[in-house]
Amino acid sequence: MKEKRRDHYYRKAKEEGYRSRAAYKLAQIHKRFGIFREGDVVVELGAAPGGWSQVALRLIGKSGFLIGVDLQKIKPIEGAVFIKGDFTDNETVERIREILGGRDVSVVISDMSPNISGVYSTDHARSIYLSEIALKFAIETLKRGGVFVVKIFEGDLIGDYVKKAKRYFGMVKLYSPKASRSSSSEIYMVAKGFKGRHETDEPAENS
């Protein structure tokens, strides 16, 4: 708690009414890459406590639509639909699809993190696993030209993951927002210009 109180972004979030300091990470990603547009349909993975949702909703406006999913229950936010569930379960993914109701998804954002074991190689591998599932979902649901943003823990598996993403997106960049703590190993992959699925692709494992 002492570290949080000294943290500039933690204090700023409290002052400006954001649910978490992570809100500024997404705001900085958007400022750098132009992630959202008014009217976008957004699916957010790992949405609790809702800081990212607040930023996204402000940027997509009242004509936009946002679904967020997390293992934890999320306090309601006007304009968003939240699901409590495990995104790695087929049932949760089907609930998302039902709520979308055929809407074309413009943006998929994921701030999911694995349970931290303290063993760096294990945590990195678990992070890549969650990121792979998020990428598969994005490939299955994004409209052409869509955007995908995902948090990853840095490590030796990132190269292959980025290479795979480049098959599907016109631009793929790794980016570390200023709001990320200096001690954190997290980095964000920003992928824009979704090209569509390939005919040889297998259906997503959790679709």
CB 107 within 8 A of CB 42: yes
Tell me, yes or no, if 151 is annotated catalytic.
Answer: yes
Alpha-carbon separation of residue 174 from 145, 153, 171 (angstroms)? 19, 11, 10
Which one of 12, 73, 84, 151 is the catalytic residue? Answer: 151
Q: Which two tokens stand for residue 181?
A: 């703590």
Tell me the sheet residues that pair with 186.
153
Cis peptide before 49 (omega within 30 of 0): yes
CA distances from 183 to 115, 119, 180, 189 (A): 17, 15, 8, 18
Catalytic residues: 151
